[in-house]
Amino acid sequence: MKVKVIEKHDGEGRFPTFKKGTEVVIIEACTHYLHWYACTIEKHATYVAESYVNKGKLIRNYNPTELIQNIGDILEVKEITNSWLYAVNENKISGWIPADKVVSV
């Protein structure tokens, strides 16, 4: 599915891909995005979807990098998780973007 960015999104930097089984320390629930949590993974402050964690460990490989995108950019959506899209931009860079910042094309 292709989407078009309708609101600029600035990410919070690049992150490594954390392997399944990596410890996740949940800090608090996000107030704006349900089922997402502020956390630390290997001393990196980031966010994680509730469904990616069980008993304090990742249940899948996970990279929390957010896409930095401008209005009008086109993305190819690879996954949808709790109001966030994991997508690839036209430069073949992948990452997360909130669903409320895009529309289908």
CA distance 58 to 12: 20
Report all structural domains of the chain as residue ranges with CATH numbers, in order of start.
2-12+65-104 (2.30.30.40), 24-58 (no CATH)
Q: Are 97 and 8 in contact (CB under 8 A)?
A: no
CA distance 85 to 89: 12
Percent of the chain scoring above 90 in pLDDT: 97
pTM as predicted: 0.94
pLDDT of residue 73: 98
Q: Is residue 54 scored above 90 in pLDDT?
A: yes
pLDDT single digits (tens) 4-48: 999 999 988 899 999 999 999 999 999 999 999 999 999 999 999
Mean of all residue pLDDT scores within the chain? 97
